Structure formats: structure tokens, C-alpha cells
Amino acid sequence: MDFKPCVNINKELDIVGARQLGRTRAKELGFGTVDQARIATAISELARNIYLYAGKGKVCFEVIDQLDKQGLKVVASDEGPGIRDISQVMQDGYSTSGGLGAGLPGVKRLMDHFEIHSEWGKGTEIQAIKWVR
């Protein structure tokens, strides 16, 4: 499969670009409409966080092929300020920007697997996987 692996996030419109590419990838992999919406929404949240809090970064896509299942992995990474207290930002309603604080806890619920790595002062990498059902 011809695969454009990453979308750079530098400006606000890149958020739309990333989620649209993510939806296209999800469709190609055979995800249903609801899962496509889940994946696109999760990408939108991660890309906006990069744009808002780190200024720039990227969202990359990877197909995971396992014997018994196939999935789409989304990796959002930036070299922004990092996150000091991960358990805090994973709480519903926690926001430092006047947002709903729904983004990160939402992504965790929308996707099947969620991992967050962040180092204060160095940057953040979030990996999320959705399996094709």
C-alpha cells in the first residue's frame, strides 16, 4: 500500500489535513464509519494539542499487521514543553487553555490502546492504536 506516513503540524489547518488523511487510511484498512470517526476525532485532538501547546510537531501513521489482527497506529510527537504531570492531564476537564479538557482522556476512550511518553522540557509522544474489527 502506498503510504504517506506523516503529516507535519505547523499551522491550524494542518489539524484538518491530519484528520482527513487519518480517515482515508482508516477507510482503506476497512474500518467502519464509526471507527473512522473515532480515529479522525482522536487525530484531531492530538494534532490540535501539538499546535496549541508545542507549536509544531507531526502525526504519523503506521499499519500494524499481526497474525490475528490488523490495526492503525497513530503517533503524535513534538519537541514542545512536555507534560509535567501525566495523571493530571488525563483527567476529564483538566485544561490549561480554557478548553473542555476532553482531548486526551477522550482519545484514550476512542482508541483501543493509548500510551503517552513525555519529558518535561523535551517533548511529548503519544501512541494510539485502533484494531480493525
Partner 1 sequence: MRIPILKLHNYLLISIQIDLDDQSAIEFQEDLLNKIHKSGATGVVIDLTSVDIIDSFIAKVLGDVVTMSDLMGARVVLTGIQPAVAMTLIELGIHMQDVQTALDLEQGLIKLRQELEG
Ligand X SMILES: Nc1ncnc2c1ncn2[C@@H]1O[C@H](COP(=O)(O)OP(=O)(O)OP(=O)(O)O)[C@@H](O)[C@H]1O
Query: Contact residues for partner 1 (CB under 8 A)?
Result: 12-13, 15-16, 19-20, 23, 33-34, 36-38, 40-41, 44-45, 48, 92, 99-100, 102-103, 105-106, 109-110
The span from the first CA to the last CA of the chain, in angstroms, equals 20
Among 25, 103, 114, 127, binds Mg ion (CB under 5 A): 103
Please tell me the distance from the alpha carbon of residue 38 to that of residue 114, in angstroms, as a whole number.
13
The site map against ligand X for 27-56 (x = CB under 6 A) is: ------------------x---xx--xx--
Count other Cβ atoms within 10 Å, centred on residue 46: 30
Please tell me the distance from the alpha carbon of residue 128 to that of residue 133, in angstroms, as a whole number.
16
Please tell me the distance from the alpha carbon of residue 30 to that of residue 49, in angstroms, as a whole number.
27
In the bound complex, what is the minimum distance in angstroms from residue 16's beta carbon to ligand X?
15
Nearer to Mg ion, 52 or 63 (CB): 52
104 scored as a contact of ligand X (CB under 6 A): yes
What would the grid cell of residue 29 be?
484498512
57 scored as a contact of Mg ion (CB under 5 A): no
Please tell me the distance from the alpha carbon of residue 118 to that of residue 64, in angstroms, as a whole number.
23
The residues that touch ligand X, with contacts defined as CB under 6 A, are: 45, 49-50, 53-54, 78, 80-81, 83, 89, 94-97, 99-104, 124
